[in-house]
Amino acid sequence: MTHDIFSRLQRTFRSGRTKPLSWRRSQLDAMRRMLAENKPEIIEAVRADLGKPASETLLMEIDLVMDEARFVRRRMGMWSSRHPKPIHWLLQPAFGWTLAEPKGVALVISPWNYPVLLSLEPMVDAIAAGNAVCLKPSELSPTISHLLAELVARYLDPDAFAVVEGGPEETTALLEKPFDHIFYTGGGRVGKIVMEAAAKHLTPVTLELGGKSPCFVDHTVNLNTAARRIAWGKFTNAGQTCVAPDYVLATPDIAQMLADRIALAVTEFYGDDPRQSSDFARIVNERHFDRLTGLLADGGRLVCGGQTDRADRYIAPTVLFGTSPDAPVMREEIFGPILPILVVRDADAAIDFINERSRPLAAYVFSRDVETRKRFERDTSSGALGYAIPLGHLISSRLPFGGVGGSGIGAYHGKEGFKVFSHVKTVVDKPQFPDTLQVVYPPFTTLRQAL
């Protein structure tokens, strides 16, 4: 089956069908129509898999894909046109230019946590660049994966797109094919498997991975706003967001106060019993539920939350205070609604703490001190840096989104996404007359005389 799908997509690409801008426009329009006409079904499918609130699916998934499609549709003509380049004097008279050509058949492998956004946004960029696409959504969100397979077949060009449902077995079979680009979003363990498989065909990869994104807070900021923004960034989708603040590093003068205010923000957002709130999501499955409840042990003093219910896959928004750097919760990416707060001496100690660990997908700094900000910007490395705003960088098509080191390879969104799925071809055109190249033809009598 995998073989047939790959051959079909390759045949379509080789026929040239996906290259005209008119085709790309029609597919982007079809994608937007698909989302607009099926909002309730999509929202319900994501709720069935993740218990995700409707507003989160709408704002953080459907709308973002729509925005990206609109953004790239307007600009892809300009991005893929010829760009004149100056030519070396030795070749004069001559002309040079670059143009972006589609890579070919792209494989997009997506995870379960933002199953619409992380499947369709890379697809939008791939379409804008003129590619055929095979999408492999996650088996851990089967309802929405199945719906995406149905909708893509119904709305998009069936010869140029395919959705393969399934898990490791199906992905392994797909990875044997010589795709022209592999775009993977998910954990680092599978990222390595993907990269190893890609190496066999020298297929370029984009790896959008995760990690522990730190969040530094000092006394110079308004703690109420900081607490609300951190709580929002952390507890959206029950903490199952790749760029959620994983843990907080707070200076001793404000650490306790910040913890209390985050707990207050949790009550403001989700009420006294977040379990009853229709705005708070559930954990994706029992395996992750068990992993997360395991992380609660020896995690520090409980400021709020801690309640769990396996049957409902519910873990309350939980804030831990005075967490030790060696606690279980600090040994892996949390990816759930547990927020440890560690007390650090000052900004320098926080920077050292961050630099001793794998480079994160995002780092957040709540400080109004210009020097402190400069130091984080200069002395730490992360996929992105947010001042006083977690998650903010991911919602703009104008900002590249990606990791560094252990948090990923490559970036996308907007023009960066278009570039991911394009090859920039260099073209040189030297008219035959006059044949000024004679200077470089052997024998080099003229050149020797000049030396």
Active site residues: 208, 242
Residue closer to ligand NAD by CB (options 12, 380) is: 380
Residue closer to ligand NAD by CB (options 96, 406) is: 406
Strand-pair category, 105-109 with 181-185: parallel
CB atoms closer than 10 angstroms to residue 5: 17
Residue closer to ligand NAD by CB (options 314, 401) is: 401
231 vs 24, 162, 245, 291, 339, CA distance in Å?
40, 38, 9, 21, 9
110 vs 28, 140, 159, 246, 446, CA distance in Å?
19, 11, 21, 21, 61
Under DSSP, is residue 323 helix (H, G, I), strand (E, B) or coil?
Answer: coil
∠248-262-270 over CA atoms, to 5°?
130
> Minimum distance from CB of 293 to ligand NAD (Å)?
17
> Minimum distance from CB of 336 to ligand NAD (Å)?
11
> Minimum distance from CB of 24 to ligand NAD (Å)?
24
Say which residues have a Cβ less than 8 Å from residue 117's Cβ, sequence separation at least 6: 60, 61, 64, 65
Under DSSP, is residue 262 helix (H, G, I), strand (E, B) or coil?
Answer: helix
> Minimum distance from CB of 218 to ligand NAD (Å)?
26
Give the whole-angstrom CA distance, residue 270 versus residue 44: 21
Residue closer to ligand NAD by CB (options 199, 440) is: 199
Q: Among all residues, whose Cβ is closest to ligand NAD?
A: 210
Give the whole-angstrom CA distance, residue 213 versus residue 393: 13
For every residue of 409-431, DSSP letters joined together read E-EESHHHHHHHTEEEEEEEE--
Give the whole-angstrom CA distance, residue 20 versus residue 27: 11
- Residues in the site for ligand NAD, rule: CB under 6 A? 109-111, 113, 118, 136, 138-139, 167-168, 171-172, 185-187, 190, 193, 208-210, 242, 333, 335, 361, 403, 408
